[in-house]
């Protein structure tokens, strides 16, 4: 069996696990209901896709880590608790193949939920009031489905990074309780903790300039990317202060993903 086949076998196994686990389906349903409810509340409001993107920005930023935690955190740790990891190690599969298969399988579930929920939200936005808001650009770059498509793409990139971080926690934890504690701590850190830490450093004078770069190295760089790449092009005038450096933010998310998967590969078994 080739390396690709071994990774695909683990990927398929994870997908089957997701479909059979009712608690994970409940977490996915809760995420979808909240996103769709927020979008439904915006029906009839001016601003169209720009307003919808801004309405969903904080919701997605906070709930994607929660969704990823619910789906991913017991993946590797659960195999270890059930002694399935010991059996897997008897097969000719490397730790990289196993971790990548687990990550892709679990993350595929996260991406499916995020994309389907946002697709329904975008469909609801088509029923919004067609009247233009004063903050929208009057040229072709103004409010359009492209704004929301960019938001969905960035949300999926964010989900890839957060799922990698949770995968590392699942691999590194020695017990289910430890995986739960570390996972919850990471969710809080990604959703609000790192931003609060940056604010504390700025207010305390520890950090002076370079705010854009500092925001970009956080997993929550997703917010800055949405403002800069999705919302700002649709505005009549750019924001007075850039939310983040897109290049640094993309590099930061890629770095968090690569480092997290590297940690998971090193920690999965000794």
> What residues pair up with 235 in beta bridges, in sequence order?
136
Q: Residue with structure tokens 């359009």? A: 144
Contact 121, 52 (CB under 8 A): yes
- What was the pLDDT predicted at 137? 43
Contact 117, 25 (CB under 8 A): no
- Give the pair of three-digit tokens for residue 230: 């999705």
> What residues pair up with 136 in beta bridges, in sequence order?
235
The tens-digit pLDDT sequence of the chain (270 residues) is: 666 788 999 999 999 999 888 888 899 999 999 999 988 876 655 557 888 888 899 899 889 988 998 899 888 988 888 888 888 888 889 999 999 999 999 999 999 999 999 999 988 877 654 544 444 443 344 567 888 999 999 999 999 999 999 999 888 887 767 666 766 676 666 655 555 555 555 555 555 555 555 556 666 678 888 888 888 877 655 555 556 678 888 888 898 899 999 999 999 986
Residues 226 and 223: their CA atoms lie apart, in Å, by 5
- What was the pLDDT predicted at 155? 95
Q: Kindly report the pTM of this predicted structure.
A: 0.83
- Give the pair of three-digit tokens for residue 1: 């069996």
3-state secondary structure the chain: CCHHHHHHHHHHHHHHHHHHCHHHHHHHHHHHHHHHHHHHHCCCCCCHHHHHHHHHHHHHHHHHHHHHHHHHCCHHHHHHHCCHHHHHCCCCCCHHHHHHHHHHHHHHHHHHHHHHHHHHHHHHHCCCCCCCCCCECCCCCCCCHHHHHHHHHHHHHHHHHHHHHHHHHHHHCCCHHHHHHHHHHHHHHHHHHHHHHHHHHHHCCCCCCCHHHHHHCCHHHHHHHHHHHHHHHHECCCCCCCCCCHHHHHHHHHHHHHHHHHHHHHHCCC
């Amino acid at each position: 069996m080739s390396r690709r086949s071994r990774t695909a076998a683990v990927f398929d196994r994870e997908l089957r696990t997701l479909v059979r686990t009712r608690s994970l389906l409940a977490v996915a349903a809760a995420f979808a209901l909240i996103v769709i409810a927020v979008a439904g509340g915006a029906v009839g409001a001016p601003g169209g896709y720009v307003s919808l993107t801004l309405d969903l920005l904080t919701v997605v930023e906070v709930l994607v880590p929660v969704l990823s935690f619910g789906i991913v955190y017991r993946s590797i740790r659960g195999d270890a608790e059930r002694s399935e990891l010991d059996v897997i190690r008897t097969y000719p599969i490397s730790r990289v193949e196993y971790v990548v298969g687990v990550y892709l399988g679990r993350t595929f579930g996260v991406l499916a939920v995020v994309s389907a929920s946002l697709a329904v939200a975008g469909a609801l936005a088509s029923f919004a009031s067609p009247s233009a808001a004063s903050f929208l650009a009057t040229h072709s770059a103004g409010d359009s489905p492209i704004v929301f498509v960019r938001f969905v793409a960035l949300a999926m990139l964010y989900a890839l990074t957060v799922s990698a971080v949770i995968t590392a926690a699942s691999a590194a934890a020695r017990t289910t309780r430890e995986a739960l504690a570390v996972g919850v701590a990471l969710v809080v850190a990604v959703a609000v903790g790192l931003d609060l830490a940056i604010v504390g450093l700025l207010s305390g004078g520890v950090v002076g300039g370079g705010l854009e770069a500092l925001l970009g190295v956080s997993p929550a760089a997703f917010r800055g990317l949405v403002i800069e790449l999705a919302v700002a092009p649709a505005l009549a005038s750019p924001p007075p202060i850039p939310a983040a450096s897109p290049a640094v933010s993309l590099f930061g998310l890629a770095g968090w993903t690569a480092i997290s998967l590297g940690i998971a590969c090193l920690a999965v078994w000794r």
